[in-house]
Chains A and B, each alone.
Chain A
């Protein structure tokens, strides 16, 4: 799947797509182990969403005094507009697996667990999924274990759920009626056939626009955020700087 993005690294391209999902005047949060969403949200905060409220774990000063509990309570009260999740598996129906590969009782791989995502996926108004690779092992027909459910009977009630899936090959949008992903755009240079070959479920429709790439100004603005990333993601920041050259 190696594939060159025009004028930026893959991480920056994904971060730019993340930035597009951030809206001004909303409450946006970024969790732990999420350097790419953090980069994207920092870009948004520095460009089109300056007046939003941000709870960015791992970006220096966090405006909370009660750690992740404060984030979870914010979401349950209905005051979190946008959050980002990824998974070891994401399925056709939008479910996420962060628990185990293989059967739960005899897993091939035991994963770190959901860390609140079973609730956040319900209670955040929009959840954008991102993946740093795109393969049939990751994008599967059905998750081995559903840690976070995308569309379930509205029981007891749910506030939001997935809206977008951003991968190194394409973007998808979630259709809540069908309860499935729809292909939204293919990244520059990626054909439908290539994306389909790397995806474990059928993609539709097969004719979609090319994903808008970041302008040189956007790339510069993304790179200006690297010092903030260095606080909590020193290894990621170093790798990014090395790739930029």
Chain B
């Protein structure tokens, strides 16, 4: 879909700063309506809950994760685990996303940390607070990166953040 008609927007300042929000004539009613162009990201990277052996995944239904994958040119989906066919189904809050739309599936247990993974684990509040405090200054942000990103392997990060809490 190249663009989408949207109701509303008239009288706002979007028209002053977004030349790509345009008014067109609705061919059915003859009235003017706003249209907005499609967003086509080069990449979408989302974290999903589980994959099957064929690269299909089950992801959160409540965020726009699936929409982002359907919009992007290339896509990577990280997943908590790969499961057998008989365990591959969507629970409430989850939705199926076909491998047709996915370029690469990466197994990354705990991959949403410190964010939440639907039906799997919640937000790590203490870690988010630590990150927020650190990222207030360039020095703090650098030291956060040094400690958690450059300073340890993925496995070490998992142990430091998840295993330490017994999750």
Contact = CB atoms under 8 A, between A and B. Distances in A.
A68 B34 CA distance: 20
A69 B8 contact: no
Interface residues of A, number: 32
Interface of B is mostly: loop
A65 B61 contact: yes
Contact of A153 (B10, B34, B93): B10
A158 interface: yes
B7 interface: yes
Task: Tell me the interface secondary structure of chain A in the complex.
Answer: loop
Interface in A29-77: 61-62, 64-69, 76
Interface residues of B, number: 25
Contact of B61 (A67, A123, A147, A149): A67
Given A155-B32, A156-B26, A69 B10 contact: no
Interface in A57-116: 61-62, 64-69, 76, 95, 99, 104
A5 interface: no
14 contacts: A62-B62, A65-B95, A67-B67, A68-B64, A69-B64, A76-B6, A99-B13, A104-B16, A104-B17, A118-B9, A118-B14, A149-B12, A156-B10, A156-B33
Given A120-B8, A152-B10, A156-B34, 18 more contacts: A62-B93, A65-B61, A67-B61, A67-B67, A104-B17, A118-B12, A118-B14, A119-B6, A122-B7, A122-B9, A122-B10, A145-B13, A147-B13, A156-B10, A156-B31, A156-B32, A158-B7, A234-B125
Interface of B: 6-14, 16-17, 26, 31-34, 61-64, 67, 92-93, 95, 125
